[in-house]
Amino acid sequence: VDGIVLLDKPTNITSNKLLQKVKFIFNAKKAGHTGSLDPIATGALPICFGEATKVSKYLIESSKTYHVVAKLGEKTNTGDSDGIITEKKAFTQTNTERCESILKSFIGETEQMPPMFSAIKVDGVRLYKQARKGLIIPRKKRTINIHNIYLKNLFFDSMELVIHCGKGTYIRSLIEDIAAKLETFAHVKK
């Protein structure tokens, strides 16, 4: 089997589990996805089969667009609604103009700390495996590129964003960084 299938990834499944299911359905020997989506995330997940895996690097390197809802005032251990709330801080309602100004400060190249709950390997072990044991492993910041952030809605306890970014951007970390500038906490709700 050679080609690319664009899947609409449902929530509550890992990108790799979905890849394995599709690989089984197509009886494919060689297949790979072009970047992981978090288990709670939904959306487009390209799967490359056979000879098409040779072009997967171009899809991996390309920009992505995410539509995200962030819950304000709460931090979780995973950075999303699957995690346990670890800290709370009241969110003082801000105006749209201030929020948009803060969002603009993230546009361009910036440094980002990857979350502990990520597939990054440190000394051959995935960080999420260490995080599940309650360990915090030192990580290095990575350079990311945010092309644009659009504030779609701002509510008293959440904000809805559309983020266009380069490869390697962790939306959960970005949401936490945005919340810090808003002087609160936040996590990805959906």
User: Where do the H-state alpha helices sit in the chain?
Assistant: 15-25, 56-61, 96-104, 127-132, 171-181
| H/E run at residue 176 | helix 171-181
Provide the CB-side half-sphere exposure for 116 (13 A, CA). Answer: 15
Report the candidate in 183, 165, 184, 54 with the shortest Cα–Cα distance to residue 109: 165
- Are the C-beta atoms of residues 93 and 156 closer than 8 Å to each other? yes
Q: In Å, how far are 80, 85, 100, 114, 157 from 153, measured between CA atoms? A: 19, 23, 11, 26, 11
Query: Catalytic site residues?
Result: 38
